[in-house]
Amino acid sequence: MSLLEGLNPQQLEAVTLPHQSALILAGAGSGKTRVLTTRIAWLIQTGQIGPQELLAVTFTNKASREMLVRISGMLPINTRGMWVGTFHGLCNRILRAHCRDAGLPQTFQILDSADQLAMVKRVMKSMNIDDEKYPPKQAQYFINGAKEQGLRAGKVEAFDDWSRKLVTVYETYDAQCNREGVVDFAELLLRCFELLSKNEILREHYRSRFKHILVDEFQDTNRLQYFWLKLLAGPNNSIFGVGDDDQSIYAFRGARAGNMLDFEKDFHVEKVIKLEQNYRSQGNILDAANALIRHNRARLGKNLWTAQSSGEPLRLYEAMTDLEEAGYILGEVKQLKNEGTALSEIALLYRSNAQSRVLEHALFNAGISYRVYGGLRFFERQEIKHALAYLRLTANPDDDGAFLRVVNFPTRGIGNRSIEQLQEVAVGRGLSLWQAACANTLSGRAGASIAGFVKLIESMRAACATLPLPEIIDHVAELSGLITHYQNEREGEDRLENLGELTNAAVAFVSADGPIAQVTEEGGIQSQGFSALAAFLAHASLEAGEHQAAAGADALQLMTVHSAKGLEFHAVFITGLEEGLFPHDNSVSEADGLEEERRLMYVALTRARRRLYLTHAQTRMLHGQTRYNIASRFLEEIPEALIKRVNTTRFSGFVSAAGFESGFESGYEAKAPKLETAASGWRVGQNVVHAKFGSGVIVSAEGRGGDARVQVNFRDVGMKWLALEYAKLAPA
């Protein structure tokens, strides 16, 4: 069979391009991997280059391996020595070959993220830098960020004392790495870039060797990666860039979608080929994705289409609560399974990791096996296990496992040797580690630190003795230092959201039937029967340990939208489509934030082949409190003709001045909380529209008659108090 057989006209044009730089704008599901690998095979088969004379760059080792497997299936060649790999892998290969020129020993070692952090900590300790004021993780992010910009310490601009201090850490860290002959991941690329920049002979050698450079996922390249490609290509080589600016969703990692626009200009690209035929999704799904992404301004522009039928409309479900949302999803999953759809072909997508907790709980109770893709199940996440360990010590300080986990987390100057000494005392006297710590025979700083830890746990126990369960969790998370610790982490936001979700889990647990019902009204840890805390910890252990899908077993797929990129499923649920959640609150304050969120939604939509569900809730628990939500603006950007509303929990609007509406259009038994201001004729949670402020949701109200006013959370302008006599509100 010919290599070119079965290619559509645009794919064929891309594969057979002459020696010139080109941008292949490949939409989701348009066969970009096939185009890339077929292009490589065609160049080799037609004798334009040998297998060792091209460079193909991917972003993951998995993608590299898949590419090599496909090439070996197309051509009878040994792909072993081909220059196909990730940026870091290819740079490592060049540096190994020219280690002396790069100023590295031949046996240089590569530091992973954990090793790098340990090195940063050692350097900061040697500099007597306060790790409370300057958290090592922040220093690590600072160093990597500078390297990804192509900057050594001497070139980094520092505008304040904090950044100037981190520059000195970067400088000292660099010197230490050179002494030890080690490099971190960011250094691989920077060192290789510097090598090729300064060594003209080497640069010309690789330019003459790699006449064709092919780059996958071009939209995910950062500034330094783009400069490296530009340097390697020179004026005469061609770069075959394949990417989709509409799927650029990794700005937080340094990815720069603008590289595609720069590429067009810098390489005088005359050929931009758009791969718009989609082989994955049915028509209605693609029409929805196209309509949504058109709201972004800075894009190269394309319009996905398919030869398949329009298929089913998108199903939109509006729940009253996040629990009801999970219940609906559970029912639909069961129905899909009964219809013959494998669980592995169903994906539940969410914007934030913390959202998985409610979904996991529903699946756990229903006995449905699931797998969290690209991450950990809720109760297995680091921050949750740390919080639970503190809670276990609060309930039972003799729990050695919990003690060992958190005695020095967050760090409080208790090293491994001190812990070993404590263990020796415990074994020798037949005590628990807690009892040994209370007896504290250690001297110096270690003894003082252990005494401080004992005091911390005792204060927690005393403070939590009469608190209800949700407040216990909030108190412990704050007092333990976990909140402060994760606030200082660059990527700590997800962990903080998960800690907040643990409080929500406690609220839901206290409200549920079962052993917890035996707890007295105080809900404290000294309650009779099963204590609230002990019962909750038992529940967490059970939920963490069951329904974990075995390797290879059929299981429902749970994941963030970021993790879903590159995957496809028969049926997809996109959950939590509410303002502040998706799009995320942070997007409002960030440059291009909202457009990136919309690209993220575009990625979510295009994961589905046949069936797509969109769900949101009018109320959702946040840190143990009910939050009233406005439906995501992204729902308004999808044409109504493509949507089938499965239900509506929207309020009927105006009611008589004598009282409030008692039910919902959907007929659900659950009721929204009634306002005390009966004369107002409105309800907390009601969606409303204002002529000036736009759409919003009522969150509270006060007063009667002419003095009645409501507080509305507007999507675009935030919270406003409005006098009902003058506000001219209308139901949404």
Catalytic residue among 131, 148, 187, 216: 216
138 labelled catalytic: no
Give dist(CA 207, CA 631) in Å, integer.
53
| Stretch (H or E) spanning 614 | strand 608-622
Which residue among the candidates 32, 565, 609, 715 is catalytic per the annotation?
32
Residue 528 bears catalytic tag: no
CA-CA distance, 524 to 513, in Å (whole number)?
A: 17
Contact 192, 86 (CB under 8 A): no
Which candidate in 33, 138, 176, 411 is catalytic?
Answer: 33
Residue 217 bears catalytic tag: yes
Element (H, E) at 570: strand 569-574
Sign of CA dihedral 85, 87, 89, 93: positive
How many CB atoms sit inside 10 A of residue 594's CB? Answer: 16
Q: Are 249 and 565 in contact (CB under 8 A)?
A: yes
CA distance 104 to 99: 5
Q: Which of the residues 217, 287, 325, 497 is marked catalytic?
A: 217
Tokens of 573: 């649920």
**Active-site residue, 247 included:** yes
**H helical segments located in 269-407:** 283-293, 322-338, 356-366, 382-395, 400-406
Q: How far is CA 247 from CA 32, 51, 350, 551, 637, in A?
A: 13, 30, 17, 30, 18
What whole-number distance in Å separates Cα of residue 227 and Cα of residue 172? 26
Residue linked to tokens 């206290």:
510
Catalytic residue among 165, 607, 609, 715: 607
Work out the number of other CB atoms within 10 angstroms of the CB of residue 716.
12
| DSSP 8-state secondary structure symbol assigned to residue 218 | G
Place of tokens 């569900």: 613
The two three-digit tokens of residue 208, written as one number: 């003459």
Q: DSSP secondary-structure letter at 82?
A: S
**191 part of the active site:** no
Three-state secondary structure call for residue 129: coil
Q: Which of 247, 355, 503, 649 is catalytic?
A: 247
CA 393 to mean position of chain CA atoms? 31
Distance CA 311, CA 149 (A): 46
32 is catalytic: yes
Torsion angle of C-alpha atoms 659, 662, 664, 666, degrees rounded to 10: -150
Please identify every residue annotated as catalytic.
Answer: 32-33, 216-217, 247, 607
